[in-house]
């Protein structure tokens, strides 16, 4: 019989190397899957891990997809470190997108001459407030009725999606859109300017790492961050020290919802420029994987967001160039997370033979 025995002191070097080992094992299993599907493994790995970085335009698309992933994952990391399990970043992102879209459509009719800088700030603030309002529903139900935040935040994702469908099929539908479920294209003055001409990458790609730096300072260099982490690791000790779990609950959920709403606002003001039922393709759920692949650390989340966005784009390329299903990208994402957790298990524990 084999059993896991905790190591007296886990190796720091192995803790740093384990994500690379997990990525390497993912690549090996991916190659085997390509071969099983009748595709050239080398060609498949090239499409998934090399071509998304081949050229400035390709890199800009990776960073563009990484931006909302990083923003959502930063908020989730703060929640999880405080032992608040927010699973609804997808719904909060949609709420932020709807709030920003509503402001864009209203400004188009009411204040067409508003300066571009003021418009961008108005849209982003509206997105933050929209995401915070959606997360506040979860906080209220957890605080007032002790409802499980996992179930509440998850169910609110589908409520947000149905609200989006109502708006784009109903009152906000473009009368010139040939009956497609979409709003009119937002005025050009509301669009986020690209960082480089010829690409879709906008200034959100600069803001995301700055917010990651702010999240790092919050978690590891502030009293509030210390309070949140103590509350997550030892709730009874936190109560004894006078830390309020109620304040922590509201703080982390509003922060997480605001960051997800900001991501939604950047999506509609950046690459999409209108509301559609297909605005988000699971960004909020993928951000959960980003969060754990990044070890709940803001710096790790930035790199994990880039890696996962590479996999998303690699899945799209594999679908168009190799004829493989786009769902393969989700398979590799889940596989990477599973292997990382397995590696971390063996970093913290060692196998021992039980003596009967």
How far are the Cα atoms of 1, 6, 339 from residue 352, in angstroms, in the given order?
Answer: 8, 10, 21
In this prediction, residue 66 carries a pLDDT of: 97
Q: How many structural domains comprise the chain?
A: 1
Distance CA 194, CA 215 (A): 25
Give me the chain's average pLDDT, please: 92
Contact 78, 228 (CB under 8 A): yes
Work out whether the CA dihedral 143, 147, 148, 149 comes out positive or negative: negative
pLDDT-derived band at 80 (thresholds 50, 70, 90) equals very high
Contact 206, 198 (CB under 8 A): no
Q: Which of 68, 132, 99 is nearest to 301 (CA)?
A: 68
pLDDT-derived band at 298 (thresholds 50, 70, 90) equals very high
pLDDT-derived band at 342 (thresholds 50, 70, 90) equals very high
Residue 252 is assigned to a structural domain of this protein: yes
Contact 310, 118 (CB under 8 A): no
How far are the Cα atoms of 33, 274, 283 from residue 324, in angstroms, in the given order?
Answer: 11, 30, 21
Residue 167 is assigned to a structural domain of this protein: yes
For the chain, where are the alpha helices, taking DSSP H only?
A: 12-36, 41-45, 56-81, 89-110, 116-145, 149-169, 204-220, 223-233, 235-240, 245-267, 283-293, 298-317, 328-348
Residues 126-145 as b or e (16 or more Cβ within 10 Å = b) = bbbbbbbbbbbbbbebbbee
Distance CA 333, CA 181 (A): 30
How far are the Cα atoms of 30, 317, 333, 337 from residue 33, in angstroms, in the given order?
Answer: 5, 16, 14, 17
Work out whether the CA dihedral 282, 287, 290, 295 comes out positive or negative: negative
* % of the chain with per-residue pLDDT over 90: 71
Q: Look at residue 299 and tell me whether its pLDDT is greater than 70.
A: yes
pLDDT-derived band at 356 (thresholds 50, 70, 90) equals low
Report helix, strand or coil for 194. Answer: strand
- Token code pair at residue 162: 């149905």
Distance CA 201, CA 207 (A): 12
- Token code pair at residue 327: 């769902």
Residue 321 is assigned to a structural domain of this protein: no
Q: Which of 21, 30, 52, 34 is nearest to 317 (CA)?
A: 52
Q: Look at residue 222 and tell me whether its pLDDT is greater than 70.
A: yes
In this prediction, residue 108 carries a pLDDT of: 67
pLDDT in tens, 225-262: 999 999 988 888 888 888 899 999 999 999 999 999 99
Distance CA 31, CA 44 (A): 7
* Among the ranges given (24-28, 80-84, 195-199, 245-249), the one the predictor scored with the smallest mean pLDDT: 195-199
Residue 150 is assigned to a structural domain of this protein: yes
Residue 51 is assigned to a structural domain of this protein: no
Residue 354 is assigned to a structural domain of this protein: no
User: Who wins on pLDDT, 70 or 188?
Assistant: 70
Q: Which of 288, 289, 291, 272 is nearest to 280 (CA)?
A: 272
Residue 309 is assigned to a structural domain of this protein: no
Q: Look at residue 189 and tell me whether its pLDDT is greater than 90.
A: no
pLDDT-derived band at 353 (thresholds 50, 70, 90) equals confident
Q: Which of 180, 187, 200 is nearest to 277 (CA)?
A: 180
What is the residue range of 218's domain? 67-294
In this prediction, residue 292 carries a pLDDT of: 93
User: Who wins on pLDDT, 281 or 133?
Assistant: 133
pLDDT in tens, 96-127: 999 999 999 988 667 767 777 788 889 999 99
Distance CA 298, CA 16 (A): 15
What are the φ/ψ torsions at residue 202 (nearest 5 degrees)?
A: -115, -175
* DSSP-derived secondary structure for 120-166: HHHHHHHHHHHHHHHHHHHHHHHHHH---HHHHHHHHHHHHHHHHHH
Q: How far is CA 269 from the centre of its chain?
A: 18
Q: Look at residue 83 and tell me whether its pLDDT is greater than 60.
A: yes
Spatial neighbors of 147 by CB under 8 A, at least 6 apart, are 141
């Amino acid at each position: 019989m084999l059993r896991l025995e905790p190591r007296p002191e886990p190796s720091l070097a192995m803790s740093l190397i384990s994500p690379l080992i997990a990525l390497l094992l993912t690549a090996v299993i991916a190659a085997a899957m390509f071969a099983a599907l009748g595709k050239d493994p080398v060609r498949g790995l090239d499409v998934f891990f090399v071509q998304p970085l081949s050229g400035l335009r390709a890199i800009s698309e990776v960073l563009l997809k990484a931006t909302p992933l990083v923003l959502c994952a930063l908020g989730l990391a703060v929640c999880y470190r405080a032992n608040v399990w927010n699973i609804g970043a997808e719904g909060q992102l949609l709420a932020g997108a709807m709030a920003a879209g509503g402001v864009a459509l209203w400004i188009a009719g009411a204040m067409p001459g508003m300066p571009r800088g003021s418009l961008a700030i108005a849209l982003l603030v509206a997105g933050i407030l929209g995401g915070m309002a959606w997360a506040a529903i979860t906080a209220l139900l957890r605080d007032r009725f002790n409802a499980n935040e996992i179930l509440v935040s998850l169910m609110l994702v589908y409520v947000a999606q149905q609200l989006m469908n109502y708006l784009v099929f109903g009152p906000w539908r473009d009368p010139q859109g040939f009956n497609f479920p979409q709003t009119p294209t937002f005025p050009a003055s509301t669009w986020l300017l690209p960082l480089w001409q010829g690409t879709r990458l906008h200034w959100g790609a600069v803001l995301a790492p700055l917010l990651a730096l702010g999240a790092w300072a919050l978690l590891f260099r502030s009293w509030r961050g210390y309070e949140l982490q103590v509350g997550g690791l030892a709730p009874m000790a936190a109560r004894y020290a006078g830390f309020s779990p109620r304040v922590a609950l509201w703080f982390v959920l509003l922060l997480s919802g605001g960051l997800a709403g900001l991501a939604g606002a950047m999506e509609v003001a950046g690459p999409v420029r209108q509301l559609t039922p297909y605005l988000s393709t699971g960004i909020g759920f993928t951000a959960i994987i980003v969060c754990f692949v990044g070890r709940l650390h803001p710096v790790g989340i930035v790199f994990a967001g880039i890696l996962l966005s590479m996999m998303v784009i690699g899945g799209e390329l594999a679908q168009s160039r190799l004829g493989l299903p786009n769902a393969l990208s989700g398979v590799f994402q889940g596989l990477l997370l599973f292997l990382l957790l397995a590696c971390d298990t063996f970093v913290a524990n060692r196998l021992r033979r039980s003596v009967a």
